[in-house]
A and B are shown apart, each in its own frame.
Chain A
Amino acid sequence: MDLSVVILVEMLYAVASLVLISSGLAVVFGMMKVINLAHGEFMMMGGYVTITAVGLGVNIFVAMLIIAPLVVGLIGLVVERLVIRHLYGRLVDTMLATWGLSLLFIGLATMIFGNTTTGISTPIPGFTVGNYQINGYNFFIIVVAVVLVIAMLVVLKSTRLGLIARGTMQRPDMAAALGYSPDRIYMATFFCGSALSGLAGAVLAPLVGLVPTSGGAYIAKAFITVIAGGPSLVAGLISSASLFGVVNQVFTFAISPVFGEVALLVSAVILLRLLPQGVTAKFFKGKM
């Protein structure tokens, strides 16, 4: 009984962290079709911003939920203006340029913070269920992920801003004809995507030892989650994150954490082979 509770919580946590990792990319790649290979580095920077802010005496929740997304969002804005703006619609070129950016950020972080592991302790204490100890912070991650998904749904589906953004992504020429500037909407959307990445990196920072190359650990997971999710943004995110999260945890419990990771990646390759357009191209069609 106790064990099953623990496993259930761990699975929910795995799904929630996948949702968090992928949400920023879902906006940037899923909506804007920009293959942002620097996504992991945006998360890494979110983590460093949090640690720096906490070191300066800011409350950890303020640092994680407000400062990190803002700072990373602004970095994203600069990146969009300087690089991405020139490459819209050129899939392969964006992929290469953002990979260059990711190396650049890794280099910068190494120069500023050094090639050492830094971290902060989790702000929420753990508690016990029967014979097992559960990390209380896992619940925080689950809550953040749920709030995030609901917020994304509401913003995209029921606000005017979301409608304009979605319309512009589908037909920029039509949006321009209706008096909206696609350039500025792209800019704003990229800001939101980067801010989400920063938020994810910040929230996950207390759980991992942060090194400048931490981003690499996220990027593959984020991509396969978003791509396997398919065309529907939120429904795809949830369905693929659930699938991969469960696979990961089952193999982690059955064999070892490394095999959990490998099983996740292998299942992604198989899934992409079977459903190359993603889960939501076949199921949940037309949902957000």
Chain B
Amino acid sequence: MQGPWAKEGAVTLAVAVVLIWLAPLMISTYTLTILIIYGMLGFSLGLIWGFGGILCFGQAAFFGLGAYVYAIAAINFGESTWPMILAVLVPAGFALLLGAMMFYGRLGDVYLGVITLVVTLILFKFINSTAGPQYVIGKARLGGFNGIPGFQTLNVPGNPEAYIWGDAYYYVCAALLVIVYLLVTALLRSSFGRIALGIRENEVRMSLMGYDIAARKTVLFAIGAAIAGLAGALFANWGEIVTPGLFSLGQSAEIIIWCIVGGLGTRVGPILGAAGLAYLKFMLGQQSLIDNTLIMGLILVLFVLFLPKGVVPAVASLWKTSFGRRPFSRVHQARRMRNRGRGNG
């Protein structure tokens, strides 16, 4: 990191610190924590979909897996450091296997979507049916539909008595999101990230240039899963219970809506989309006139029809045409990527 990158990193850090400091003045830290966790989840799909061109309909599978792994490991270990690490590694490993199976099989976009969806369903059905006492991992009962309550929540590493909760937990989550964001920025700046963008734009050309497409897509997929797993572990700590609902199709749908609304091909878009829509849902949850699902569905349909680029790129291009010297290519990238599917029909 040098030159303009160091500058961008510093600016990101400064903006993030100000936001993290100001936000609790308006919204309670309890709500903010979940917004940040959802932001991280949205970010994980935004990375693999927006920058890798991998449309995964089952990002919730990795989220749920992270949460379950954390809960099970926390009950068995009685502290939270190793469970956090496992909650990142296990979903990543699972994604490596799944991704290798899909990408080395050269499956198309649609099949990818269907397989990830089906895998999510399998996990959902399986976890839902584990109510019996025979489903035990170590000391933890899987609990079926009721989920797993009462596990050790986050503590200071090495000191299981010192819990991190409330405001402190909010700052931990926010810091983790900033770290993940900076790491992903660095990743996208590296040659790996550049090649991933190349694969998104034109897979055949990149493979003719000698890059191993399948391996690179698999690794990117696993990185996305690792971030989703981290978000899942943080969610488990926030909710203090994990249920099979984490694996549900509705959860997967929401992640995709966040990305579409926020804007694909940008880093902040999915985070803002996730936090914004989650907050909207929170506000809507306080009224009972109109069903929540209906509004989310309507938002998705309207965005696909009228603003398929998403909010952040639209605002950015508006800003550029109003104040900038020349339109930046990022918007075009997003559009080109979304057009890619058109040729297949």
Enumerate chain A residues within 8 angstroms of B113, measured Cβ to Cβ.
95
Enumerate chain A residues within 8 angstroms of B299, measured Cβ to Cβ.
100
Does A176 sit within 8 A of B, measured CB to CB?
no
B residues 247-291 with Cβ under 8 Å of A?
249-250, 253, 256-257, 260, 290-291
Instruction: State which size class the interface on A falls in.
Output: 35 or more
Q: Say how far B58's CB is from chain A's closest CB, in angstroms.
A: 11
Q: Say how far B71's CB is from chain A's closest CB, in angstroms.
A: 21
Taking chain A's interface residues, is the majority helix, strand, or loop, or is none over half, making it mixed? helix
Does B189 sit within 8 A of A, measured CB to CB?
no
Inter-subunit contact A227/B110 (CB<8 Å): yes
Enumerate chain B residues within 8 angstroms of A167, measured Cβ to Cβ.
none
Enumerate chain A residues within 8 angstroms of B128, measured Cβ to Cβ.
258
Complex alpha-carbon distance, A220 and B256, angstroms:
17
Does A89 sit within 8 A of B, measured CB to CB?
yes
Contact residue among A90, A91, A111, A224 (Cβ-Cβ distance under 8 Å from B294): A111
Inter-subunit contact B297/A106 (CB<8 Å): yes
A residues 185-213 with Cβ under 8 Å of B?
none
Inter-subunit contact A108/B294 (CB<8 Å): yes
A276-B107 contact, Cβ under 8 Å, with A89-B342, A99-B300, A100-B298: yes
Does B122 sit within 8 A of A, measured CB to CB?
yes
Inter-subunit contact A103/B122 (CB<8 Å): no
Enumerate chain A residues within 8 angstroms of B300, measured Cβ to Cβ.
96-97, 99-100, 103
Does A42 sit within 8 A of B, measured CB to CB?
no
B 91-115 binary contact with A (CB < 8 Å = 1; else 0): 0000000000110011111110111
Q: Say how far A282's CB is from chain B's closest CB, in angstroms.
A: 15
Complex alpha-carbon distance, A99 and B344, angstroms:
19
Enumerate chain B residues within 8 angstroms of A272, measured Cβ to Cβ.
107, 111, 114-115
Q: Say how far B109's CB is from chain A's closest CB, in angstroms.
A: 7
A 119-143 binary contact with B (CB < 8 Å = 1; else 0): 0000000000000000000000000
Closest to B107 in A: A276
Closest to A256 in B: B129
Inter-subunit contact B345/A91 (CB<8 Å): yes
Complex alpha-carbon distance, A115 and B119, angstroms:
27
Complex alpha-carbon distance, A100 and B250, angstroms:
11
Complex alpha-carbon distance, A91 and B338, angstroms:
9
Closest to A223 in B: B114
A91-B109 contact, Cβ under 8 Å, with A220-B118, A224-B118: yes
Enumerate chain B residues within 8 angstroms of A78, measured Cβ to Cβ.
none
Complex alpha-carbon distance, A212 and B294, angstroms:
12
What are 19 of the A-B contact pairs (CB < 8 Å)? Answer: A88-B345, A92-B338, A95-B110, A99-B297, A100-B257, A100-B300, A103-B297, A106-B291, A106-B294, A107-B292, A107-B297, A110-B293, A111-B290, A111-B291, A111-B294, A216-B249, A219-B249, A220-B117, A276-B107
Which B positions have Cβ atoms within 8 angstroms of A?
A: 55, 101-102, 105-111, 113-115, 117-119, 121-122, 125-126, 128-129, 249-250, 253, 256-257, 260, 290-302, 304-305, 308, 338-342, 344-345
Which A positions have Cβ atoms within 8 angstroms of B?
A: 33, 35, 83, 86-93, 95-97, 99-108, 110-111, 216, 219-220, 223-224, 227, 256, 258, 261-262, 265-266, 268-269, 272-273, 276
Known contacts A110-B293, A268-B118, then 10 further A-B pairs from the complex at CB < 8 Å, ordered by chain A residue: A33-B345, A99-B300, A100-B304, A103-B253, A106-B297, A107-B290, A107-B293, A108-B294, A224-B114, A265-B119
